[in-house]
């Protein structure tokens, strides 16, 4: 299992091609569970080092909740992406895509937790850590696009589109909601100002 996680980072194409034949939702769920557990353990260790009682309590609670939440969120997020994959002509199964992406999630979650810990303990490393995060995000996008491409037998361009479309649509919806709420707020504010002015005249 560890070899597959390392391979997903260091030799992703070959690893994904080989593991595609062994893919299942169950194996993917185990990876997501382990990712959540490892992240929570690292977070708890960092809390103990920092000596903050409240964060230690939060860390213990997170240790119980995080693995299960991670599995559920993984199933949902990959499911959403899978819908767009199918709309763009993907031919593979949900289980195959879920499992291949899960191979990336475990090592990336650990690296992210360690970087977050370094930032919390040594804020002076802020710029360096943020640069590492930026590089990591770009590489994760590449790995997930590759996992989608191999599992669904579709080009990298369509795979990238399938990965980004949910985020783009959510962003557009967010902007529209913000505009509607903003318009409603300013309309209400204008009405209130008008009412106040009329009361003053009376």
Domain boundaries of the chain, sorted by first residue: 2-201
Across 56-60, 149-153, 166-170, 171-175, the highest mean pLDDT is recorded for 149-153
Mean pLDDT of 151-166: 92
Which pLDDT score is estimated for 60?
79
* Closest by CA position to 5, among listed 106, 146, 78: 106
CB atoms within 10 A of CB 94: 21
Instruction: Indicate the pLDDT class of residue 190, thresholds 50, 70 and 90.
Output: low
Mean pLDDT of 119-130: 79
pLDDT tens per residue across span 6-34: 999 999 999 999 999 888 999 999 999 99
CB atoms within 10 A of CB 15: 24
pLDDT tens per residue across span 175-189: 888 888 877 776 766
Mean pLDDT of 191-199: 53
Which pLDDT score is estimated for 191?
59
Between 187 and 164, where is the model more confident?
164
Which stretch of 14-18, 35-39, 87-91, 120-124 has the lowest confidence by average pLDDT? Answer: 120-124
Report d(CA 11, CA 105) in Å as an integer. 15
Instruction: Indicate the pLDDT class of residue 51, thresholds 50, 70 and 90.
Output: low
Using the structure block, give the residue that is written with the tokens 């490393």: 125
Which pLDDT score is estimated for 150?
94
Report d(CA 35, CA 68) in Å as an integer. 10
> CA of 77: how far to CAs of 108, 109, 129, 143, 166, in Å?
16, 16, 26, 16, 9
Mean pLDDT score across all residues of the chain? 85
Handedness of CA 165, 101, 108, 65 (dihedral sign): positive
Which pLDDT score is estimated for 57?
78
């Amino acid at each position: 299992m560890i070899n597959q996680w390392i391979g997903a980072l260091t030799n992703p194409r070959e690893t994904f091609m080989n593991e595609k034949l062994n893919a299942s939702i169950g194996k993917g769920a185990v990876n997501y569970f382990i990712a959540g557990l490892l992240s929570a353990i690292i977070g708890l260790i960092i809390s103990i080092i920092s000596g903050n009682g409240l964060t230690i309590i939060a860390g213990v609670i997170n240790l119980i909740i995080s693995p299960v939440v991670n599995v559920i969120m993984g199933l949902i997020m990959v499911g959403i992406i899978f819908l767009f994959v199918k709309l763009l002509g993907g031919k593979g199964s949900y289980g195959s895509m879920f499992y291949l992406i899960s191979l990336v999630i475990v090592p990336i979650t650990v690296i992210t937790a360690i970087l977050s810990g370094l930032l919390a303990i040594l804020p002076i490393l802020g710029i360096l850590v943020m640069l590492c995060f930026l590089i990591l995000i770009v590489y994760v996008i590449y790995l997930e696009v590759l996992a989608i491409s191999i599992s669904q037998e579709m080009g990298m361009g369509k795979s990238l589109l399938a990965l980004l479309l949910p985020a783009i649509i959510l962003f557009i919806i967010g902007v529209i909601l913000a505009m509607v709420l903003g318009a409603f707020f300013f309309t209400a504010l204008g009405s209130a100002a008008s009412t106040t002015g009329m009361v003053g005249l009376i």
